[in-house]
Chain A
């Protein structure tokens, strides 16, 4: 096909695409010159252009900080645990909701399940402390009443990790189901009827019909999640974390906040951001490649 006839045939597609692409170039790539800060001794008043080049000095400084490696390790650890626990949770929950027959119960449950997503971490933090504190926490109060010894939910590594994961599942599982529920509307009901005739059990139907039909969505989200392995939100580790477990709750975002933004060292903050970006890009492209080979699904 010649160029002219190609364009003649497909110009509409390019026209559609042009608007969002203009957006990406202006609003996303426009400020991108800011990554230079990582290679400069950034002075607020001389601006990005006027500040002096320092090459990779700031990278060397960051990579020599022991705290950076602790934060990196914790980021990986918490994200990995989240991937094991928080990632499957909405899938299981969505399938359970899909299996429920009572229309009203289903609708009301869905609406309530996503409420935690709207409660800010500051408030969640307050509630978590009220529930899980050692002396004043309600859960430990109950344990004490039963004659059991209190569990240091917030001040010791193991229990703290469980608390951290639990609050994550609690906060995001309901919200996460929405997308899977949207995907589940595409399940072909006729397949169930056929399976019924064959005498398949409920579990078998879920395994062979329901799950495969949302597989593309699961794979897409899994790839997107893998891209985020070295980036982590600020609020959850910062608020659920505390001084006693600082060695495990300090992650890259809190590290950047502390050494970079809070003390005005934009250069260090940008270096860490750049590091996260490169690793994230490698992860997402890598997992996309592997996924394409293995399942045929991918995001590109």
Chain B
């Protein structure tokens, strides 16, 4: 075996996680190192590829998946975990817990008596100047007394091996969910090592978070607390984590407009009505949470939330306004506050920081400005952090002038030195700078620290900055247990018979509405693809049946699925991938993806995978227009993926209210399309044309059924029977009518409201149609036409009624999914 370490670059100026100063493997890494020595590069690279594949399959992203701009970025996870031994970890964990307690106490003071400000221990500039100091929250006492439920510290390791805090995360610390997902992948990649090394488990952290929120949530007698996770939505950079945590914690994932405040109480809008929410774990920034009392331009929050909090009716974690402690300017004041409040020292030191608001400190910072990192004190500033050593003379002078003009808004910080850790990349071991984010959660007996955390890795070899926003990756963090308890592995709370739930009571109406549209768009894409394929095949083959092609083109134009004028080829391109044609297949696929992204939490992994596949195909198509043959090929593959999607809907989803609306959406869409398409066909020129009947069967996906039944070329009466009246054929109008009737009946049984009878009457008329009249020569050509016209008109009525039904359902079930707006008067 080649010595993998031999080629490992080793910068002795930095601490190396794996190697000591003399280049020897550190003791707690020995076992892992041995394992690496017994592997060859090909094996390791293969494992790295497996890791990457799991990430892709699990849909783990940092940016957003179904982003219309396609800016989603897969999560980067290195094959090798970072290892931290038990004793060192004990020091880190104690220090992080101590810091969490301190910051919680500081918050309670700032939103309470403000003694720290009065006594001069904190500058008013850093508090009142911070846009996340929320004035209307002054005086609010959170239920349970905790302000900081979740906390994270960003740590860096200096060359002497000590860990330093470079930033406190007090608002909505992100990343713990990614850490958990990293763990699930990497522990399976090295299962024996994971067991042998006795790696501490992560589960109890998440259980504590759950318990804390549940136990502190204010409840009226007899109520079971409902905790929800509030996300800004799918465009947020860590949306995947919101989904993942919500699933893991068992909290419904909601957006601001899923919630409403009535009588100072927070409610979730569900199909079955309003359900009280007792606690809110938020991933939404402080000032966005309530457009009534906070930022009035925010559409993401819940109007009135603050009043519900003020009245003690709901717990918000972390407390609103906790972001004020994220100012880097505070770092230098914490040791004295710790001393003042608790009479002891901070165990984890903060990196050297100069808040420029004090004239002598400003001068100190200016003296050594060239070596420092300059940060904005407040997030509202339009100033990005600057490494002053990257500036030339003029740049430095400009920066210094800026600091002098408004000193209190700037913080100078020593440039953190980062430790190096081994990563597996390009088939060899390399070193990269790392940083670690460590999480703490409040519990009944103090703060508990997640034994692991998120290790972040610099993007390039020389880089000394680690931040997800600037690229770079992550690692699993293995805290070895030593003699200590491992903690509990991920094991859900045992559920008994009394816990059985047969129906999700917390399905937000918005999700249901999106499922409804997801169903409609999926079916619509399917319908459009079939019709365009009918045309495309005949056009490409240059068929000698011009009548059939023309009739299909007429129909598509009538249904607004083919733009009006011009060469057929241009029109087809437009209809398929036209960017400015609102009814194009491409536009509808985008709508499908949009609604899917809203309901991602409700779709199975496989289901989502099929969607991603469709999306990938669509992107390819957009990039490279190709020729008609390629488009035909695309349509065939797309129809396959769409039918997989429809299969998942039938076989893979729980039959809850969401599923029922999804299916109703599909059925309405198909009914409308079939009815309109057959009507158009019957009223058109090819009604009795054999080639026309052939494509009508294709459109109704019934060619094979017809052939096996009749073993003959299509003829009008049996084709119509199959597509209109056959109750066994899911592509028959009456089949869809019956299924819809059943689904609507169930809705009105469950939710009350008048039964939907409009379609029933039309269905009865359809079933009463005697196809025999088409058989009788008695009536002649004119009589035949009259019968076809009558049938066509009836089908159009059905299509119209289906559209009206959709509108009525929207009004009845989703009407409260309405936008709110701000008003202001002088």
B and A form one assembly: no
> Which residues of B approach A to under 8 Å, CB–CB?
none
> Which residues of A approach B to under 8 Å, CB–CB?
none
